[in-house]
Amino acid sequence: MDKNYKSGFVTLIGRPNVGKSTLMNHLIGQKIAITSDKPQTTRNRIQTVYTDERGQIIFLDTPGIHKAKNKLGEYMVSVAEHTLKEVDVVLWLVEPTTFIGAGERHIAEQLQNVKTPVILVINKTDTIKNQEEILEFISAYKDVCSFAEIVPVSALKDKNTDLMLDLIYKYLPSGPQYYDEDTVTDQPMRQIAAELIREKALRLLSDEIPHGIAVTIEKMTERKNGMMDIEATIICERDSHKGIIIGKGGAMLKRIGSAARREIEGLMDTQVNLQIWVKVRKEWRDSELYMKNYGYNG
Ligand code: GDP
Ligand code: K
Ligand code: MG
């Protein structure tokens, strides 16, 4: 084995909306994790793989660590906390601010219990007018947690992410190439398709619905000419939500469907025939059985 070749597992943690999915997508140059301006967009643990001449970094995009409010919340928290101990490096993404809220303090507490090196990544530095302010953010965070490294970046503008990669490699052990270099994710295409549909729904629907929806893929088959047939279901909590998701004369569902289809076609590099249904399952977020059904069973 080449002793100079490094590889390992890195988890991205941070409160909802700090830019975890954006950072990961930019690093691998392809859209895998979905992003939106609504919190808790990312529900499942997603592996993305970054490979260069130095080695291979396997990123785990965890749901934000927060206090659980229901069964889905509990599941998300347990995935995140378990991951912290398994990985070689923890990347903690934060907003550029000196205000350290209860959410951040909660994360700092969790990090104190693990021996894994923690790199603090201060994101969204493109939004700061006076770059000297970053020093103040750094010292505010140093007061609540001890870090192996601290690096300011902009995930959106791809600023300083090279330095962040250098710092990650510094803490990775020498190891094998786990995945071949073309691999960017081990997520099944079905799950990516479901997440993309959910993303479009989150973007296009009004604020009252999104947290109550899940998407399942019933069918995904390839025709002889390469075209994919996909059948999906959006599950929501209320009859009134179903009406909104479908829209007047099916207009909203059509918008969600065509936006999702275009993106799935881009990813799969083939034509896609996408059909989406909408079903109501009351209180699915509080039902363990339904959660298992919809794939949130770890
Ligand atoms: P996550 O919940 O942590 O995965 O956050 P997302 O990646 O979904 O990002 C949440 C929002 O923040 C989106 O609207 C992003 O476009 C935005 N965002 C992420 N990174 C940056 C950044 O570096 N600069 C700015 N200005 N916005 C960002
Ligand atoms: K988000
Ligand atoms: Mg995310």
Name the residue with higher pLDDT: 257 or 264: 257
pLDDT for the residue 38: 52
Q: Which ligand is nearest to the CA of 23?
A: 1
pLDDT for the residue 48: 74
Name the residue with higher pLDDT: 111 or 100: 100
Q: What Rg do the C-alpha atoms of the chain give, in angstroms?
A: 20
Which has the closest alpha carbon to 147: 103, 102, 94?
94
User: In whole numbers, what is the pLDDT of the chain averaged over residues?
Assistant: 82
Q: Given the structure tokens 């490096």, which residue do they identify? A: 89
pLDDT for the residue 130: 92
Ligand 1 lined by 161 (C-beta under 6 Å): no
Q: Is 123 annotated as a binding residue?
A: yes
pLDDT for the residue 44: 44
Tell me the domains of the chain and their CATH numbers: 6-170 (3.40.50.300), 189-293 (3.30.300.20)
Dist. CA 31 → ligand 1 center (Å): 13
Degrees to nearest 5, angle at CA 143 with 142 and 149 = 15
pTM of the model: 0.66
What DSSP letter does each residue of 193-261 carry, written as one string? HHHHHHHHHHHHS-TTSGGG-EEEEEEEEE-TTSPEEEEEEEEES-HHHHHHHH-GGGHHHHHHHHHHH
For 115-163, the pLDDT digits (tens) are: 899 999 999 999 999 989 999 999 999 999 999 999 999 999 999 999 9
Residue 17's alpha-carbon distances to 13, 35, 37, 196, 238, in angstroms, are: 11, 8, 6, 17, 26
pLDDT value at 114 more than 60: yes
Q: Given the structure tokens 């750094």, which residue do they identify? A: 138
Question: What ipTM was predicted for this assembly?
Answer: 0.97
Distance CA 79, CA 68 (A): 12
pLDDT for the residue 140: 95
For 215-224, the pLDDT digits (tens) are: 888 888 877 7
pLDDT for the residue 281: 83
Task: Spell out which residues have Cβ within 5 A of ligand 2, the ion.
Answer: 17, 41
Ligand 1 lined by 127 (C-beta under 6 Å): yes
pLDDT value at 89 more than 90: yes
Ligand 1 lined by 159 (C-beta under 6 Å): no
At 63, the pLDDT band (50, 70, 90 cuts) reads: low
pLDDT for the residue 67: 56
Name the residue with higher pLDDT: 294 or 227: 227
At 174, the pLDDT band (50, 70, 90 cuts) reads: very high
pLDDT value at 88 more than 60: yes
For 182-216, the pLDDT digits (tens) are: 666 656 677 778 888 998 998 898 766 756 788 88
Q: Is 230 annotated as a binding residue?
A: no
* Number of Cβ within a 10 Å radius of residue 230: 23
pLDDT value at 68 more than 80: no
Tell me if 137 sits within 8 A of 147, measured CB to CB: no
Which residue's alpha carbon is nearest to atom 15 within ligand 1?
Answer: 19
Q: Is 212 annotated as a binding residue?
A: no
Distance CA 111, CA 264 (A): 37
Q: Is 28 annotated as a binding residue?
A: no
Identity of the highest mean pLDDT range in 47-51, 85-89, 106-110, 233-237: 233-237
For ligand 1, what atom is nearest to the CA of residue 22?
7
